[in-house]
Amino acid sequence: MKKQNGFTLIELVVVIIILGILAVTAAPKFINLQGDARVSTVKGLEAAIKGADTLINSKSLIAGNNTVAASATTSVTVATGKTVLINYGHATPVWTDSLENALDINAAASGTSSEWIYLEDSASKSIYFYPQGQVSPKATPAGQCYVQYVNGLTAYGPITVTPVVTGC
């Protein structure tokens, strides 16, 4: 008589069933697709803000108003009929007449019909953008999924764009 080697069909089926059960119960705990998507979206907005700032700063340098403080008339034109208010060569940290014209995003101060919510903070000379459905960075406890754009410049220099994605 020949000695059998290997596993029986029943043993293989049992192992496959056990692996399937483990995959169904354990995989969602290790794969956070929704959170990863939000992190990528916030990082994408960070890149868009930095890119827009580079364009605005370049246009400001060409126009020669990169050493001028913010005023109602200090601006650069980014498209036909669209101007961006600037402070020392960078966009002012407000939505209307500034970042609204520089960024191609769907944002609003409140509501549920936009993809992004913005929150202007004149005390810190910054503006926050956070995805719809996330907690405001100024709430208690503060939301941890946003991009902060800061332009508190008092002389020509770099601005700050900070993403926070720990709570996405």
Where are the domains positioned within the chain? 33-164
Other CB atoms within 10 A of residue 118 CB: 23
**% pLDDT > 70, the chain:** 98
The fraction of the chain above a pLDDT of 90, given in percent, is 67
- 25 vs 129, higher pLDDT: 129
DSSP 3-state of 120: strand
Q: How far apart are CA 115 and CA 129, in angstroms?
A: 10
* Residue 17 scores a pLDDT above 70: yes
Confidence of residue 35 (pLDDT cuts 50, 70, 90): confident
pTM of the model: 0.80
pLDDT at position 2: 66
Is residue 28's pLDDT more than 80? no
61 band by pLDDT with thresholds 50, 70 and 90: very high
